[in-house]
Chains A and B, each alone.
Chain A
Amino acid sequence: GAGVSQTPSNKVTEKGKYVELRCDPISGHTALYWYRQSLGQGPEFLIYFQGTGAADDSGLPNDRFFAVRPEGSVSTLKIQRTERGDSAVYLCASSLTPTARFATQYFGPGTRLTVL
């Protein structure tokens, strides 16, 4: 079946602009995660959805970052007033259920965001 998809693959924007990054999880996966990977670093957790609700947003760096998942499938990560420090690869992952037995997360190819 299809894996996790993310669009766009690359996004270049100017400082101060608003951007939206989209994630399509694997069909039937109820849990969805966003991570941010800066150059030369491992991914860092941003936010987790179980169904439509954001169950854990403790990784969002500030209130310029927001994410939604209105129908429990596709998710959009929204960044307002972008700053150069927001430049990174944004990864999305999904898992079948957050319970122990199916803890494996499957990742999308990421969106590379560049803020000029």
Chain B
Amino acid sequence: AQTVTQSQPEMSVQEAETVTLSCTYDTSENNYYLFWYKQPPSRQMILVIRQEAYKQQNATENRFSVNFQKAAKSFSLKISDSQLGDTAMYFCAFMKHAWGGSEKLVFGKGTKLTVNP
């Protein structure tokens, strides 16, 4: 079974600064996907960024980028130029590739990020 570990329950950062959220995972699979989801107080889970395990290049989406280290099974999220609207719970999630089958997400426990003005 796959597991996802987020070792930082809470983090804070000043507006406009950079913060990195950590995530490690455990799997014996070779083909899989990794995700970062954001969950503000409204409860809506919003996809921030995704990474295919077969791609060596780290994914980026505007101010968000990841550092994917496949051998180390590490998948950290870097948020640059932090904004007040980035305040939320952030969840790292793993999905194994299953041809035509269930691709359920396995989530970590989350990191609560607070951006201070």
Contacts and interface: CB of A to CB of B under 8 A. Distances in A.
Given A103-B33, A104-B50, A98 B45 contact: no
B63 interface: no
A50 B108 CA distance: 25
Nearest to A109: B44
A43 B45 contact: yes
B43 A43 contact: no
Given A43-B105, A99-B100, A107 B45 contact: yes
Contacts of B108: 42
B47 interface: yes
A48 B109 contact: no
B103 A45 contact: no
B70 interface: no
Contacts of A103: 33, 50, 95, 97, 103
Nearest to A105: B105
B104 interface: yes
A42 B104 contact: no
A40 B33 CA distance: 24
A110 B105 contact: no
A110 B106 contact: no
Contacts of A62: none
Interface string B91-117: 101010111111111111110000000
